[in-house]
Amino acid sequence: MILGLQWGDEGKGKIVDVLTRDYDIIARFQGGPNAGHTLIFDGTKHVLHTIPSGIFHDKKINVVGNGVVIDPVIFKNEIEKLKAVGVDLKNKLFISKKAHLILPTHRLIDKASELSKGTKKIGSTLKGIGPTYMDKTGRNGLRVGDLSEDDWMIKYDNLKNKHLNLIRSFNVDIDFDIEELSNNFFESIEYIKQVKFIDSEHFFNESLKNGKKIIAEGAQGSLLDIDFGTYPYVTSSTTTAAGASTGLGIAPNKIDDVIGIFKAYTTRVGSGPFPTELFDDIGNRISKVGNEFGATTGRPRRCGWLDLVALRHSIIINGVTKLAIMKGDVLSGLKKIKICTKYRYKGELIDYLPYSLESKNLEPIYEEMSGWDDDITAIKNMEDLPKTFLNYISFIQDWVGVQIKIISVGPDRKQTIIV
Ligand code: GDP
Ligand code: IMO
Ligand code: MG
C-alpha cells in the first residue's frame, strides 16, 4: 500500500510509478478526480486524476477500485490524453463495477454547498466528491455496474431531479445548463465503455492466490481522512490504510507493507488548520522552489515546516512499515530548518494530535537543525547526501520509529534513492 501521510500532494504518483516495475497490478482504492498525481519521466510530465499511476508501464494491469468515485467526463479526458501520447490501454485498464459515478449535479451540489458556507468553505476541488459519497452511503448512488442495466437512465433522471431540488434549497446563484451537462455525461459514458468493467474484488483475490503482487494506490493524505483528518476540512473518503481493504475488497491480513509518503516539509491546499504554516519569506521560497501549485486546480499550496506530531499520528493510524521522504532538494540552501516536535495546546505541552488543530488553542514548538547548501538532485546513493540532510533523516526516523527506505531528490522517476 502506498499512501500520503500529510494533506495530500506528497508525491504518491511518482513513487507508485517508480515501484510499479516490481508489481503486477496497480489499484486506486478511494477518492476521485480531486486527486492529481504527477509523473515525470523522459522529459515529459503527466498528471493523472482517476487512472492509477502504473499506467505508463507495459504489461501491468491498472484497476480503478470500488472505493473510487468516477466522473465519466474527466475519465474520458484522461483516456484521450493517454492515447494521444501513445499509451495502449487495451487489457491494461479495468474499472470496478461497484465504483460509484459522479453525476454533473454532484459537482453542482459541491459548488452550491461551498458558496453557501462563505468564509467557512472547505476549499473543495469542486469535483463532486462529497455529494457522490453522500449518495453512496445514503444508498442512492449510481454505480458503474448499473450502466449495463436497461433502466440506468431512469435512475440517472431520478437522482438528477432530486439533486436539482437540493441545489435550489441552498439559495445561492449558480448558472448551469442541465441539458448540456447531461448530454456530455451520456456521451462520456459511451466512451468509457471501451474500458472493461470487472468484479474487481474477485479479480484481486484470484490474482493474489496466483502469486501476483498488487500496489494499492492512495489518494489525498491521512490528514484529509474523513475520520482521522482535520474534520470538517477533509475529503469524504477513508484515505488511511483501512480504506484500501474496503476500497478494493482485499482483507487486512493480505497487506504486507504500508509505505507512507511525506514531504520534507508540509503543504496544504484548501482551507483548514495547519499549525506549522509559514507566512514569511521562507514559506514563499518553499512554494516557489517546490513549485507548490495544485495539480488538479492550479491553486497555490500553503507551505510550512515538517510536523512530526502530525506525521506520527498518520504513521500510527496507517500502520506504516516504511517511509518515503520527498522533496528534500527544495530545502537546499536554507541555513536553518525547523521541525515541529510538540504543540502547546491550551497551555500544556503535548506530542499527540488533539481533537482540534485550530490555531487559537495551539502553537507548534520547534527544534532547529542545520540545513544543507548542496544541490542534491543528481545524487544516486544515500551516503553521498550532505551530512546535515542525513542528520535530518535520522532525526525523523528516531522520532517516529519507522525507517526511511525511499529518498526522492527531484520530480523525475530517476531522481529516487532506494535505501
Ligand atoms: P501526489 O498527489 O501525492 O501524487 O503529488 P502531486 O503530484 O500532486 O505533487 C507532488 C509534486 O512534487 C509534483 O509536481 C511532483 O512532480 C513533484 N515532486 C515529487 N517528488 C519530488 C522531489 O523529490 N523533488 C521535487 N523538487 N519535486 C518532486
Ligand atoms: P492528491 O491525491 C491535496 C483537499 C481540497 C480540500 C479538501 C476537500 O493529489 O494528493 P474535495 O475536493 O475532496 O471536496 O476537497 O481536500 N484535497 C486535496 N488536497 N491533494 C489532493 O489529492 C486533494 N484532494 C482533495 O483542496 O481542501
Ligand atoms: Mg496531488
Task: Name every residue whose Cβ is closer than 8 Å to that of residue 31 and which is 6 or more positions away in sequence.
Answer: 68, 69, 129, 218, 219, 220, 235, 237, 239
**Which residues sit opposite 404 in a β-bridge?**
323
Q: Are 290 and 303 in contact (CB under 8 A)?
A: yes
Work out which ligand 1 atom sits closest to the CA atom of 415.
23
| Residue 296 pLDDT | 85
Please give the average per-residue pLDDT across 105-113, as a whole number. Answer: 98
This prediction's pTM = 0.97
The Å distance, Cα 295 to ligand 1 centre, comes to 9
Task: Name every residue whose Cβ is closer than 8 Å to that of residue 352 and which is 6 or more positions away in sequence.
Answer: 309, 312, 313
Please give the average per-residue pLDDT across 406-418, as a whole number. Answer: 98
Work out which ligand 1 atom sits closest to the CA atom of 221.
3
pLDDT-based confidence at residue 149 (cuts at 50, 70, 90): very high
Task: Name every residue whose Cβ is closer than 8 Å to that of residue 380 and which is 6 or more positions away in sequence.
Answer: 417
CA distance linking residue 142 with residue 102, whole number of Å: 8
Q: Are 324 and 15 in contact (CB under 8 A)?
A: yes
Helix axes 152-169, 178-192, angle to 10 degrees: 140
| pLDDT tens digits along 354-369 | 999 988 889 999 999 9
Q: Which residue has the cell 452550491?
A: 112
**Which residues sit opposite 261 in a β-bridge?**
4, 324
- Ligand closest to Cα of 264 equals 1
Active site residues: 9, 37
Pocket test for ligand 1, best of 1, 3, 6, 9 (most atoms within 8 A of CB): 9
Please give the average per-residue pLDDT across 252-271, as a whole number. Answer: 97
Q: Are 270 and 254 in contact (CB under 8 A)?
A: no
Give the residue among 61, 62, 8, 53 at the shortest CA–CA distance from 35: 8
| Residue nearest to ligand 2 atom 20, measured at CA | 8
Encode 112-125: b = buried (16+ Cβ within 10 Å), e = exposed: bbbeebeeeebbbb
Give the residue among 87, 127, 82 at the shortest CA–CA distance from 109: 127
The Å distance, Cα 21 to ligand 1 centre, comes to 19
| Residue nearest to ligand 1 atom 18, measured at CA | 411
**Residue 39, C-alpha cell as written in the block:** 509523473
pLDDT-based confidence at residue 370 (cuts at 50, 70, 90): very high
SS3 143: strand
Average confidence score pLDDT of the chain: 97
3-state SS string for 219-288 = EEEHHHCCCCCCCCCCCCCCCCCHHHHHHHCCCHHHCCCCEEEEECCEEECCCCCCCCECCCHHHHHHHH
Task: Name every residue whose Cβ is closer than 8 Å to that of residue 386 and which is 6 or more positions away in sequence.
Answer: 372, 373, 374, 376
- Asked if residue 69 has pLDDT above 90, the reply is yes
Indicate whether residue 123 lines ligand 2 (CB < 6 A). Answer: yes
The Å distance, Cα 413 to ligand 3 centre, comes to 16
**Residue 145, C-alpha cell as written in the block:** 455496474
The Å distance, Cα 336 to ligand 3 centre, comes to 28
| Residue nearest to ligand 2 atom 16, measured at CA | 235
| pLDDT tens digits along 209-227 | 999 999 999 999 999 999 9
pLDDT-based confidence at residue 26 (cuts at 50, 70, 90): very high
| Residue 214 pLDDT | 98
Three-point CA angle 151, 34, 166, nearest 5°: 50
DSSP string, 43-92: TEEEEESSS-TTTTSTT-EEEE-TTBEE-HHHHHHHHHHHHHTT---TTT
What are the backbone dihedrals phi and psi of residue 176, each rounded to the nearest 5 degrees, phi first? -160, 160
- Ligand closest to Cα of 53 equals 1
Please give the average per-residue pLDDT across 27-35, as a whole number. Answer: 98
| pLDDT tens digits along 326-358 | 999 999 999 999 999 999 999 999 999 999 998
CA distance linking residue 106 with residue 333, whole number of Å: 45
Q: Which residues surround ligand 3, an ion (CB under 5 A)?
A: 9, 36, 295
| Residue 387 pLDDT | 98
**Residue 26, C-alpha cell as written in the block:** 496497480
**Residue 206, C-alpha cell as written in the block:** 484470484
- Asked if residue 136 has pLDDT above 90, the reply is yes
Distance of CA 397 to the CA centre of its chain: 23
